[in-house]
Structures are given as structure tokens and as C-alpha cells.
């Protein structure tokens, strides 16, 4: 769904990157928030880390069975990797 509406400002969909037209930007009350969001340091540095390491590790109330599985299974895999690594390599290293 996201890739089907990517960069189409007339048909914005689920998971889009927040993009405003010039008219929308000029009419927006929170221009500073938008400018910070679109800053390369935030957009390419802090943002992806937050999305992939924190936001997608938790279940949301709107998610269905397949979405729950796609969150729980990677979390379990990460946990297993951490436990196996700590048992084989040790916590000190």
C-alpha cells in the first residue's frame, strides 16, 4: 500500500513520509516541526533508528493477526540471538 502511493500528493496513503506542498507548508501552523522532521540529520539519522529499533518493536491496537506475527517473530528472533550470544560468547566480551 505504501509503495502504491509513494510521492503521490493527491493520493496519500498509509506509511507515507510526511510531505507538504508549498501551499500546505505556508498554511501550516507547525512549520518548525515540519522543518525539523525534514532535516537530514533527523530524517536520515535519528528517524530510521527510532522507526526500526523502537517503534516497530511494539504491537499497536489496529494491527491484525499477520501484523502481530510480523512484530512478535522478529522480536523473538532477536531475543534468541541475544541469549545464545550471551551463553556462547559471554557478557564480558
pLDDT band at 16; cut points 50, 70, 90? low
DSSP 56: G
From first CA to last CA, the distance across the chain in angstroms is: 43
For 29-75, what is each residue's pLDDT tens digit?
989 988 988 889 988 889 888 888 887 777 677 667 777 888 888 88
pLDDT band at 84; cut points 50, 70, 90? very high
Q: How far is CA 30 from CA 27, 46, 84, in A?
A: 9, 20, 47
Overall pTM > 0.75: no
Amino acid at each position: 500500500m505504501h509503495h502504491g502511493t509513494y510521492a503521490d500528493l493527491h493520493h496519500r496513503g498509509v506509511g507515507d513520509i510526511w510531505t507538504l506542498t508549498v501551499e500546505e507548508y505556508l498554511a501550516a501552523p507547525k512549520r518548525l516541526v515540519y522543518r525539523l522532521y525534514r532535516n537530514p540529520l533527523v530524517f536520515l539519522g535519528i528517524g530510521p533508528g527510532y522507526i526500526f529499533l523502537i517503534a516497530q518493536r511494539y504491537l499497536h491496537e489496529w494491527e491484525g493477526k499477520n501484523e502481530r506475527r510480523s512484530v512478535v517473530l522478529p522480536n523473538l528472533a532477536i531475543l534468541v540471538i541475544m541469549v545464545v550470544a550471551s551463553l556462547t560468547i559471554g557478557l564480558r566480551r
